[in-house]
Structure 1
């Protein structure tokens, strides 16, 4: 499979469904959101990078681009491939950068609902530390990996940074109340720190779109006016994704006036239209935290 076949990719927006590419490392099955995948190729010659990270094998040249290769077996502390001739490189794009993830084989694309994905428990260890969800299907289970965390662990500069916000100078404290749906505990803490530095203290976090929606729809008109001024949402979240959350907010007579900002590693030229279709007021790619702050200033300042 040299090129990812995209004819069957979801074109609708806000359906709370996603398509995932299933792949194997050793005897373990994992998944990656099709929206992150640009293509799947046979391995290319790798040029080593001296003093590089232990999980990075080197770089490849794909057409005119130089792309780092991340060995997922090393990331997950799993054995090397027993059948290298079956190995594949999944070329992914996230946080405005391309990465080749080295896997042992690729099986097929599955279309599922976010409701079929459970968040790993706090007690989970090992590979679960790199997992955003457990995919439950009739014939199998798979782990949906946190590829953003994998990349940020290798290169912290690709993550959110309080220092970038400090460059904006002294900020006034804001009384605006912001609801944030973000499933990553690490990113929730980083968002709290960076937005606090930007003057936004009144933040209410939810682990997924479903929890945020249940909170929002429980509010009366008066409570909405007193408790919420804006919503920030990730896209990829168990139970309910950010596009579906945005759609439900914009379809609600009581909530449709609320500005919704999608803050996700999946924002790209190709996918921007999905957020537009569900009514998002702004869409910003992680880790552009300064752009997020400037957008908040415009929408609720």
Structure 2
């Protein structure tokens, strides 16, 4: 396992090319899963876990790794499967999501696969609202499921979407002509978190489940009239099936009818992001998930210049 991620720091060239690398793994069942390598800090044989009082049922225990206390989550149990019985044969994937580090308990870790985001597809329509998927893909003629980790983490420790009273008072002093925001995110939980925060400051929201749907929505709006009279800004995740946030941003900047839209990239890639790429594709701001005041402040900054809407 030690050599599996040795070259992870060399993989930043994939960013902005609508590509990613998936680390594939398996749980108790034969089903294969994938996680973005950018979110993985380390993979190791599961160490001895310490039980602590009042842990969430999904948390198998706590591990002390390199001087850091890390909660280890039984992913199989979290998504409705059988709990892991024998951790001695398991691995943990240590990852960083939404400004926190946690370990995911898995039965087997396989390999890293380079893949195009266009080959990452939304979950099948029949999957239902209660599923734990953000996307699926096919590798070696086998279905690979990409889990909605944000949904799992929100079940364990729900995010607070309330803005501070001070920031709300500041935002209430702003009266922009346009108060509609487009939110693009493949995680239903993340979309709802952003939507609640944005609606609390008096804005309306249009939601898209990936970059491709967001771009089509924007183009349809622009076909009806000036986009700047309909939309204040775009808040987009970076990791999304079919079209990622970097590619969406570049497409917006390349469209004459959309090119001046204010774009905030809002992502769970809190530990790793490419500032040079953000500037190259032309995003206005980057915010790691999820801090409602930081998001609200970024929206406030976007609203101030559009008090006088472009003609």
Q: How does the TM-score come out when normalised to structure 2?
A: 0.86
Identify unmatched segments of 5+ residues in structure 2: 305-311
Identify unmatched segments of 5+ residues in structure 1: none
Q: Does 1:195 align with 2:198?
A: yes
Distance in 1 (CA, whole Å) between partners of 2:261 and 2:35 is 31
Q: Calculate the aligned-residue CA RMSD, in Å.
A: 2.4
TM alignment of 1:205-224, pairs within 5 A: 205-218=207-220, 219-220=222-223, 222-224=225-227
Task: Find the residue that maps to 1:255 and give its secondary structure.
Answer: coil
Contact 2:77 2:84 in 1 (8 A): no
Q: Does 1:29 align with 2:32?
A: yes
Describe the shift of the 1:81–1:229 C-alpha distance in structure 2 as closer, same or farther (beyond 3 A).
Answer: closer
* Bigger shift: residues 209-218 or 286-295: 209-218
Aligned pair partner of 2:255 in 230, 252, 256: 252
Describe the shift of the 1:48–1:177 C-alpha distance in structure 2 as closer, same or farther (beyond 3 A).
Answer: same
Distance in 1 (CA, whole Å) between partners of 2:99 and 2:152 is 15
C-alpha displacement of 1:251: 2.8
Q: Does 1:15 align with 2:17?
A: yes
C-alpha displacement of 1:87: 1.7
* Residue equivalent to 2:283: 280
Task: Find the residue that maps to 1:178 and give its secondary structure.
Answer: strand
Task: Find the residue that maps to 1:118 and give its secondary structure.
Answer: coil
Aligned pair partner of 1:204 in 189, 196, 206: 206
* Residue equivalent to 1:78: 81
Distance in 1 (CA, whole Å) between partners of 2:24 and 2:124 is 22
Distance in 2 (CA, whole Å) between partners of 1:208 and 1:79 is 31
TM alignment of 1:130-169, pairs within 5 A: 130-156=132-158, 159-162=159-162, 164-166=163-165, 168-169=167-168
Deviations along 1:44-89, one digit per CA (max 9) or x if unpaired, are: 1211111211110111111111111101121133345587554211
Distance in 1 (CA, whole Å) between partners of 2:180 and 2:81 is 44
Distance in 1 (CA, whole Å) between partners of 2:21 and 2:272 is 19
Describe the shift of the 1:276–1:6 C-alpha distance in structure 2 as closer, same or farther (beyond 3 A).
Answer: farther
C-alpha displacement of 1:293: 1.0
Q: How does the TM-score come out when normalised to structure 1?
A: 0.89
Task: Find the residue that maps to 1:11 and give its secondary structure.
Answer: helix
Task: Find the residue that maps to 2:127 and give its secondary structure.
Answer: coil
How many residue pairs get matched? Answer: 296
C-alpha displacement of 1:165: 4.3
Contact 1:13 1:244 in 2 (8 A): no
Distance in 2 (CA, whole Å) between partners of 1:283 and 1:155 is 24
* Bigger shift: residues 281-290 or 1-10: 1-10
